[in-house]
Structure 1
Amino acid sequence: MAASGLHAAAAPAPAPSVPPDGSLQASMAPSHAGADMGAIAEKLNDPTASLISLPFQNNFDWGAGPDGDGFQYKLNVQPVVPIDLNDDWKIIWRTILPFITQEDVIGTSDQTGLGDLNTTIWLSPNKKHEGQPTIGIGPILQFPTATDDLLGAEKWAIGPSFIFVHQKHGWTAGILANHLWSVAGEEDRQDLSVTFLQPFLSYTTPKHTTFGINSESGYDWENEQWTVPLNVFITQLVKIGSTPVSFQLGARYYAEAPAQGPEWGLRISVTLVFPE
């Protein structure tokens, strides 16, 4: 999720790896303003919410590579834009563009550049009933935008994506799933067939603080290999000027990874929120 650790809406690549301040707002009672921030905090935990956001997710991973001393930094820029189709339905456009720099992850070489871009387009109900779950379904696409062969798959890929979310009394639970198959690209690169599963659970307090846990797991069918990172995180929503901003700090442990995959990592995220 964009600000609560739900981000990696896309299957893992094979390479190792927010109103202006106005007179009405200025005259609002503090309790109303607090209620608005509380609603935003909970919406940030719901990938199907009607909320424009721009997360900048900084991921740091250690322990990869043949000698176990490799390091990777990945900045995921993840704009989320909901678009109303009519009173009943909307689409949610989610994109992930990674910038990667890594050392000693693949042999003793270093790489820096863009990774492959992923886009998910969900169709989701526009009306949400309190206490009732909601879903989104649609395609996911991967584009070979990597600027270094070792930072991407060099494949065009497509597949289905699904999201289920249930929120009640500050709790958010759900699962995001997708699968990517390669359909074109460099013939000398391995085909893609990757399943991504992200179960998530979080709780948001009246102070707009969220505590959560998730797993951004992937299964590579071509290599019969799981990657299972377990993430725990804390998120705080604040207002800077008139803009709500979410800050997140998280830690990650890889319960399962490829032979030369990472062992542990950290995440620091900043999300700009643009309420309607």
Structure 2
Amino acid sequence: MRISRKTMTFLAWPMLLSAPLAHAQSSDEMNAANNPLQPSVALNLQDDYTGSYYNTNGADANAFLLRGALPLKLFGLPQLLRATLPVATTPSIQPNGRTTNVGDLNVFDVALFKAGPFEMGVGPQLTAPTAGSDLTGTGKWQGGLAVLAISPQPWGLVGGLVTWQHSFAGSSNRPTQNNLQAQPFFIYNLPRGWYLRSTATWNWDLHAGTHYLPIGIGTGKVWRDSAGTTYNFFAEPQFTVAREGVAVPHFQLFFGLNMQFPIKR
């Protein structure tokens, strides 16, 4: 696996920045910073680097994810709108070689409610074929469903995100899309704003009949500045432990900086 100097700098600077800004974080603050259902205005700068694939000779790839979340209320029902736009770099495999371009925009809007010990989010999702290259997108409009269930605990968070979507329009020359993803979510809080995490996403291509299931273990740091903005930097290596199909990821490094901004009422 090759990690560039720029990547190492991105990994290091939030930790250095946190030193003068960090203060002791309570369990509730830690959970709020990591909860994907937290009703806050959020901006996430995340990167998913694939260091190796099965059945390929040293190929790697990268996806930078620009992600934002916005709480809202429609028809008296609290909701959370989340949008993700990737910038993808494809593996250097012939005949196409390496390409970097914008990918497909994904948006989901989930209604927020409680069910026993779980905070729930359920709603539709839509993927638009916004890719700047055929190699970085599917060329298909896709619709489906997103379901989140998170149970906050005194020690952290446990839960998961499940999404499914199927193509319904787009280029007739591109393959049908029918994809299921499940993201088990586990956070264990540590002292001084640190935490352990395992959040690798399991992927099934139901049309092609392939899948890969990674397991991750990583760490992160939460801190807040004087203006009330919460910062959450993390890094999580992930290894595929079960698979069906060729050219699926073998090793990935998922890292990023999540920011939650105070809401002025």
Give the TM bin, normalised by the shorter chain.
0.7 to 0.9
SS in 1 for 2:56: coil
Hey, what does 1:248 align to over in structure 2? 234
Match runs of 1:101-112 below 5 Å: 101-105=89-93, 107=95, 109-112=97-100
SS at 1:62's partner residue? Answer: strand
Matched, 1:273 2:249: no
Give the Cα–Cα distance (whole angstroms) in 2 for the partners of residues 65 and 263 of structure 1. 6
| 1:123 alignment counterpart | 111
How big is the shift at 1:255?
2.0
- The answer (yes or no) to whether the contact 1:113–1:147 under 8 Å persists in 2 is yes
Relative to its length, the structure with more helix (as a share) is 2
* Residues 244-268 of structure 1: per-residue CA shift (max 9 Å, x gap): 2111111011223441122112122
Deviation at 1:39, TM superposition (A): 3.2
User: Percentage identity across aligned positions?
Assistant: 21
Moved more, 214-223 or 103-112: 103-112
Q: State the distance in 2 between where 1:83 and 1:234 align.
A: 30
Q: Which residue type is aligned with residue 187 of structure 1?
A: S
Secondary structure of 1:263 counterpart: strand
Q: Do structure 1's residue 232 and structure 2's residue 217 form an aligned pair?
A: yes
How far does residue 38 in structure 1 lie from its aligned partner after superposition?
A: 4.7
Change (3 A) 1:230 1:65: closer
1:175 matched to which residue of 2? 160
Equivalent position of 2:49 in the other structure: 60
Structure 1, gaps ≥5 residues long: 1-32
Taking the TM superposition and a 5 Å limit, the aligned residue runs for 1:48-197 are 48-64=37-53, 67-85=56-74, 89-105=77-93, 107=95, 109-125=97-113, 132-197=117-182
Contact 1:65 1:105 in 2 (8 A): no
In structure 1, what residue type is equivalent to 2:260? V
Q: Answer yes or no: is 1:47 the counterpart of 2:36.
A: yes
Cα distance change, pair 107–69 in 1 and its aligned pair in 2 (3 A): farther
CA distance in 1, matches of 2:200, 2:24: 31
In 2, distance between residues paired with 1:264 and 1:236? 23
1:66 deviates by: 5.8
Q: TM-score, normalised by structure 2?
A: 0.82
Is 1:262 aligned to residue 249 of structure 2? Answer: yes
Contact kept? 1:57, 1:267, Cα under 8 Å: yes
Q: 1:214 aligns with which of 175, 192, 199?
A: 199
Which deviations, in whole Å up to 9, do the C-alpha atoms of 1:199-227 show, x marking residues without a partner?
11111234222211133011111111112
Question: Could you list the runs of 4 or more consecutive aligned residues of structure 1 that deviate by over 6 angstroms after TM superposition?
Answer: none
CA distance, structure 1, for counterparts of residue 238 and residue 200 of structure 2 = 9
Q: 1:80 corresponds to which letter in structure 2? A: A
Amino acid at match of 2:232: S
Judged with a 3 Å threshold, the aligned counterparts in structure 2 of structure 1 residues 201 and 93 are, in CA distance, closer, same or farther, namely: same
**Structure 1 residues 108, 156: closer, same or farther in 2, change over 3 A?**
closer
Q: Which runs of 5+ in 2 are unaligned?
A: 1-22
3-state secondary structure, aligned to 1:44? helix
The answer to whether the 8 A contact 1:68-1:260 is kept is no
Q: For 2:151, give the aligned amino acid.
A: H
Normalised by the length of structure 1, the TM-score is 0.79
SS at 1:207's partner residue? helix
